[in-house]
Amino acid sequence: MDQPFLIRYFMGILRSLARLFAWKISILSSILLAGAFLSACSVSTQPAPTATPTPPPTATFIPLPTVTPTPLPLGIDSNPLVFGIVSESSDPKALAAADQITKSIQQLTGKVMTARSYLSYSLLVSDMSAGKVHLAFLPPLTYLYARQLGFASVVMLTNHFGVYQYGSRFYANVGSQFMSFYDPKTDHSTADAAAALPQFNGKRPCWIDSTSVSGYIVPLGILKSKNINVAGAAFLNNPAAVIRALYITGICDFGVTFTTTGDPRTSPAVAQDLTDVMNRVIVVWQSDPIIPNLNLSFHPSIRSDMRDDLIFGFKDLLKDDIGKAALSTANSYEILDLKQVDDTIYDPLKELVRQTGIDMLSLVGR
């Protein structure tokens, strides 16, 4: 075998080995590339981590300063004191008298005042509860309602027919055989209600009307406080009618009217034709004078120093007949004098109203 042939033979073997090696390298590279691709795909299918957002810094709220308006003082031009009166007929004389009162007190105290007229106590009380009326003369049951709600405080009580308070008097026909517990010489009862009034248990009364303080509210409260129950009542509208009913009999067994400020048996409507009424209709018992007259009440917005000035002003009005006449005309109620009182003077009346169970709102105006 010649040498060139051997060389060619070995060179062929080397070329075959080189091709085989190159083929294995190619296969290995493909496998590695495929593995890398599959690895990349596998990683891409995993959910990307979610980034937690960083919250923005919390703002600190700094409130703006609140401006609280300072209320205007009472008694100046832009905020005058309002004096309320009631005139159901809008009587110009009543309003003129009220204007005269405010001018006199303003001149004396330096407090600016104005008068305002109302057609009813309900309207006056409504404005007083809202602070639109600062002072007014109020009847007893109207005052109890206003005081209960906290928008009125009694300052002075009026003297009417010579007294500051009055009461209730129980009457009966002399033939009814009721026992009298009354001494006409002293004008006082000789026993208390617990001893004198049980004889009316089950009897029929004559009342004035369902809002009369002396002719219904007080006597009913007294009877209830002593556990005395009466029969169905007759309401006769006025004291004279009660006396006449007792005189003729058959309508009621006993009746109640006012006392202290007079005697309805002596009124012309009775005495003119019932000349023997004083002997035929007798007094069985009467209460103490526990019903206050018309009062002067102030709204709580009136300060203590202003309160003293206004009391001084009203007292000054009473120094002459002109001032007394103005007070009487403005209120359609004779006012002879004024005296300072506190709320305790109403305690007996308040308790008797409570005994009746009557709604205070229904008594506004009385």
- Tell me what pLDDT residue 55 has: 55
Tokens of 164: 């500051």
* CATH numbers and ranges of domains, the chain: 81-160+293-344 (3.40.190.10), 165-291 (3.40.190.10)
CB 263 within 8 A of CB 221: no
Calpha distance 144→28 (Å, rounded): 112
Beta-strand (E) ranges in the chain? 81-86, 113-118, 135-138, 153-159, 165-173, 182-183, 188-189, 205-207, 234-235, 254-259, 281-286, 291-292, 295-298, 337-340
Q: How many residues does the structure list for the chain?
A: 366
- Tell me what pLDDT residue 25 has: 44
Per-residue pLDDT for the chain (366 aa), expressed as one digit of tens each? 444 544 455 555 546 554 544 444 454 444 443 444 334 444 444 444 454 555 555 545 455 556 556 678 999 999 999 999 999 999 999 999 999 999 999 999 999 999 999 999 999 999 999 999 999 999 999 999 999 999 999 999 999 999 999 999 999 999 999 999 999 999 999 999 999 999 999 999 999 999 999 999 999 999 999 999 999 999 999 999 999 999 999 999 999 999 998 899 999 999 999 999 999 999 999 999 999 999 999 999 999 999 999 999 999 999 999 999 999 999 999 999 999 999 999 999 999 999 999 999 999 999
